[in-house]
Structure formats: C-alpha cells, structure tokens
Amino acid sequence: MANMETATFETELSLFKYDNLEQLPASYRELTEADRTRRIEADRTRRIEAALDELGDDVVILGHNYQRREIVEHADFIGDSYALSKRAAEADAEYVVFGGVTFMAESADIITDDDQTVVLPCMEASCPMAGMAEALQVDAAWEQITAADPASEIIPITYMNSYADLKAFCAEQGGLVCTSSNAHKAFEWAFERGDKVLFLPDKHLGENTAHRLGMEDSIAEWNPWDPEAKDADELEDAEIVLWDGYCQVHERFTADHIAQVRDEHPEANVVVHPECRREVVEAADVVGSTATITEVVENADPGETWAIGTEIHLAKHLDRWHDDVNVVPLCGDACMDCDAMRQIDPNYLTWVLEELAAGREHNVIEVAPEEKELAGLALDRMLEL
C-alpha cells in the first residue's frame, strides 16, 4: 500500500488492489447458451438456473443496463450502477453478484451491510474512465492544483464512475460524489461551500454541467498526462477545473452521427448520455442518464423512432423490450460497445454461482474499512442534495 500525500489513508493503484481476483477455470470456457430455435437447453442455461434455485434468497444478481442479454435475463434487477447498489442493500441477500464493472461492485460493498458479500464475476471488468483518475494520481496533482490558486477553496467532486478510494479522497477534502442526473446539484452544493470545483474523471459530463449552470466561460482543463500543458494562470481564473478523463464509448459519438441518423430517419428523435461531447449534447433532442434514456423509450408513442446515444447493449435491450418503438443505435455496434462491460461473460456467471452454491467464494470485492467509511460519507453528502 502507498501513502497518500494529502489524505490520511493508504491506497494502491487499482491494477494491484485486486490482484487476488481469479480467471475463469478452463472447464467453464466452452459452455454455450441454449439453442432457442431448436428448443435445446444447453449446459450453461441449465446450470445457472440450477445454481440460482439452490441459492434461493441468499443471492441477488444485478445487471447493469450495459450488460449483454445473456446476463440481464438472469438478473433480479436491471438499471444503472448506484440504483442497483441500493437494490442490493434493500434485498439483504447474503451474496450480491454484480454484472457490471469494478467501481460498481465497490459502490455496492460500501452501501450494503457488512454481512453481505459482493462478487464481481470477471476480474477484467474494469472501467477505463475510472482508471483515468486513480486516487494516487489525483492526490499527487491536488497540491499543484491548489497551489495554482492558494486563496481559493477548491471542492472536489467525483463522478460515481470512479474507484472507492477517489470517492474517499474527495470526502476527506470536503467534496462529494455525483451521478449524471444530479451533477448540477453537486456543483451548486460545492459552490455554496467553496470558490472552485475540481470535477473528475469525466470532462464531458463536467463541461455539460457547466453549460447547464451557465458557467461555460469559467472552465479550465487539467491534463494529468502532459506536464507541459498545465497553466497556473488559467487555473486561477477558472471556477471549474475539469480533469482530462472520458468514457471511451460516449466520446466516440459525434455530431455527424446525429446528422446521419436524421438524414436516414427524418422523423427520429435523438437521446444521448451527458458523458457525450458537447457538440453531441447540443445536437440531441434529449440528454440524460441511462434511466432517462430508458424512460424516454418506455414513454414513446407507438411508431416513434428514437436514436440512442449510449452503450449498444442498452439500445438492444430497449429495441427488444419495446417492439412498438423503432430504436436506432446512433453509430452501430463497433462504435457503441463497452469492452469492460463485455468482460462479464455468462460463463463467468455460471462459475461464480456454482461455486457460491458449493460454499466457495471467488472474486470478492471488498473496500478497505477507512476507504469505505470516507466513501460512504461522500455518498451521504450526495444523498443530501
């Protein structure tokens, strides 16, 4: 473990923090899904259902909106990351199997009871955006950022899509966590208590939030990857400092994609996630979280066309769940796929469930006690918004 320079707890880079997580055993790698056309129940489907029957109420499966169909079909709850964690806490199951990425499983561990165990099926399901703002990295930058304007009180806000230790860091520095839905409220909370905001890790959500608050002319960007790009004068003049991080899926969308879908579907409405670039948000009809995107399609009139600007699997779910609405992916499978989410393979799900049924735990996600307490404080502050 490494000492933080400006915080009291120790932590480690995520690459090393979960080096105890296990790979899929070879005996599970060739399992296949049921052949629906021939009504053949393949080994994997039968085994998942048998393990769930044996575990009963002792397990709850959470399926993030971006998970593939073969995962969400076995999920007890489907939704966005924080809403799923709350569902797990309410369910009070002994085991929480999170079909998502590492930071989501950490959030579940933070808010569930101590006697609940959180399992992440695959060790490789790690969000690239969360990895763009490691707590040790932010801690090292904090002194430089605060030194650029020592007369100002800077309040750090981290997006939910970050590791637990960064949430803990923000809490210790007087900040909090936000979701894509309440980021504007988190900014207002911070400005009631300080002079500036450091927002991380998603610069696009930060920029879109600044525009929502009419503060788009008071932005500076902190590029941790380029020491020569740091301008102390620019930071001193800005009220909002954006960390240079982004979602690799949402950054791929462009205004040209929206223009193309409008050309191909003149009647289409476009809904996009606020992690998208500013030009995309400006060109869309509706902007919102995965919950908002889902609600838009749920409430659409029969025959309406909606182009979806978020990860491809949610677009596919909405198309499958609402066959009276024409759901169009904004830029296709290759553009919209999240490789980190795809790591939650159904074969991994089969393995961890069968092992739990046999009394063996694998790929347990457990946040260190001090981090857990501080990260919980950051979440509590968010809940006050």
Residues 125 and 7 in one domain: yes
DSSP E strands in 160-316: the ranges are 176-178, 196-200, 219-222, 240-243, 269-272, 286-287, 305-309
Q: How many Å apart are CA 94 and CA 115, to the nearest integer?
A: 7
Residues 146 and 239 in one domain: yes
Domain that holds residue 261: 250-337
Residues 25 and 89 in one domain: yes
Residues 272 and 312 in one domain: yes
Q: Is 247 annotated as a binding residue?
A: yes
Q: How many Å apart are CA 324 and CA 316, to the nearest integer?
A: 14
Residues 285 and 213 in one domain: no
Residues 237 and 300 in one domain: no
| Structure confidence at residue 1 (pLDDT) | 80
Residues 186 and 241 in one domain: yes
Dihedral, CA atoms, 186, 191, 192, 195, nearest 10 degrees? 150
Residues 165 and 155 in one domain: yes
Q: Is 159 annotated as a binding residue?
A: yes
The enclosing domain of 330 has a CATH number of 3.40.50.10800
pLDDT tens digit at each of 385 positions of the chain = 888 989 999 999 888 888 878 889 999 988 887 655 444 446 798 999 999 999 999 999 999 999 999 999 999 999 999 999 999 999 989 999 999 999 999 999 999 999 999 999 998 999 999 999 999 999 999 998 999 899 999 999 999 999 999 999 999 999 999 999 999 999 999 999 999 999 999 999 999 999 999 999 999 999 988 867 767 678 889 999 999 999 999 999 999 999 999 999 999 999 999 999 999 999 999 999 999 999 999 999 999 999 999 999 999 999 999 999 999 999 988 899 999 999 999 999 999 999 999 999 999 999 999 999 999 999 999 999 9
Dihedral, CA atoms, 369, 373, 378, 383, nearest 10 degrees? 120
| Structure confidence at residue 227 (pLDDT) | 66
Residues 39 and 102 in one domain: yes
Q: Is 218 annotated as a binding residue?
A: no
| Structure confidence at residue 267 (pLDDT) | 97
Q: Is 275 annotated as a binding residue?
A: yes
Which residue is associated with the tokens 């999920």?
75
Q: Is 289 annotated as a binding residue?
A: no
Q: Is 274 annotated as a binding residue?
A: yes
Give the number of other CB atoms < 10 A from CB of residue 33: 17
Residues 122 and 7 in one domain: yes
Structurally, the chain folds into a number of domains equal to 3
What's the pTM value of the predicted model, to 2 decimals?
0.94
Residues 138 and 237 in one domain: yes
Residues 68 and 119 in one domain: yes
202-219 pLDDT, tens digit per residue, is 999 999 999 999 999 999
Identify whether the C-beta of residue 170 lies closer than 8 Å to the C-beta of residue 199: no
Q: Is 363 annotated as a binding residue?
A: no
